[in-house]
Amino acid sequence: MMFPMVLLRLVDLVLYQLLANSYYRAARKMKSYGFNLAYLSSKPPHQPCSFPSITKCDLQGRMSQTLVCDIHRVLLKSKSFFPFFMLIAFEGGSIFRAFLLLMSCPLLMICDYEFKLKIMTFITFCGLKIKDMENVSRAVLPKFYLENLNVKVYEVLASTGSKVVITSIPRVMVEGFLKEYLSVGHVIGTELHTVGCYFTGFLTSSGLVVKHRALKDYFGDRKPHIGIGTSSLHDHLFISSCKEAYVVNNEDNKNSTQNSIMPRDKYPKPIIFHDGRLAFLPTPSATLYMFMWLPFGIFLAIYRILLGIFLPYKLALELGVLSGIDLNIKGTVPIKTEQNRGVLFVCTHRTLLDPVFLSTTLSKPLTAVTYSLSKVSEFIAPIKTVRLTRNRKQDGETMQKLLKEGDLVVCPEGTTCREPYLLRFSSLFAELADEIVPVAMNTHVSMFYGTTASGLKCLDPIFFLMNPKPSYHIQILGKVPKELTCAGGKSSAEVANYIQKQLGDALGFQCTNLTRRDKYMMLAGNEGIVQQVISKKCS
Model confidence over 375-387: pLDDT tens digits? Answer: 777 878 889 999 8
Separation CA 300–CA 462 (nearest Å): 9
User: Out of 54-58, 237-241, 334-338, which region has the weakest mean confidence (pLDDT)?
Assistant: 334-338
d(CA 347, CA 106): 48
Which residues does 173 contact at the CB level (< 8 Å), separation at least 6?
84, 85, 88, 137, 141, 189
Phi, psi of 112, deg, nearest 5: -75, 175
Does residue 539 surpass a pLDDT of 60?
no
For residue 461, is pLDDT > 50? Answer: yes
User: What is the pLDDT at residue 6?
Assistant: 41
Q: Give the C-alpha separation, 235 to 168, whole Å.
A: 11
Whole-Å CA distances, 174 to 134, 153, 189, 190, 195: 11, 16, 9, 11, 21
Beta bridge partners of 442: 473
Answer yes or no: are the C-beta atoms of 267 and 155 closer than 8 Å.
no
For residue 100, is pLDDT > 50?
yes
Q: Is 50 exceeded by the pLDDT of residue 178?
A: yes
| Residue 531 banded pLDDT, cuts 50, 70, 90 | very low
| Confidence check: pLDDT of 25 > 70 | no
CA distance 264 to 138: 19
Q: Where are the alpha helices (DSSP H) in 182-312?
A: 211-219, 233-239, 250-255, 284-310
Count Cα atoms within 13 angstroms, Cβ side, for 251: 7
Query: With contact defined as beta carbons under 8 Å apart, do 230 and 113 qualify?
Result: no
How does residue 287 score in pLDDT terms, banded at 50, 70 and 90?
very high
Instruction: State the pLDDT at residue 249.
Output: 81
Asked if pLDDT for residue 235 goes beyond 60, the answer is yes
> Radius of gyration over alpha carbons of the chain, in Å?
28
- Evaluate if residue 66 carries a pLDDT over 70: yes
Please report the pLDDT score of residue 47 as a whole number: 52
Query: What are the pLDDT digits (tens) for 401-449?
Result: 999 999 999 999 999 999 999 999 999 999 998 899 999 999 999 999 9
Quote the CA–CA distance of 133 and 311 in Å, as a whole number: 43
Q: Cβ distance 248 to 153 under 8 Å?
A: yes
pTM of the model: 0.87
| d(C-alpha 462, C-alpha 306), whole Å | 12
Residue 535 has pLDDT above 50, yes or no: no
User: Residues 314, 315, 317, 322: is their CA dihedral positive or negative?
Assistant: positive
Coil, helix or strand at residue 470: coil
Residue type present at position 529: I
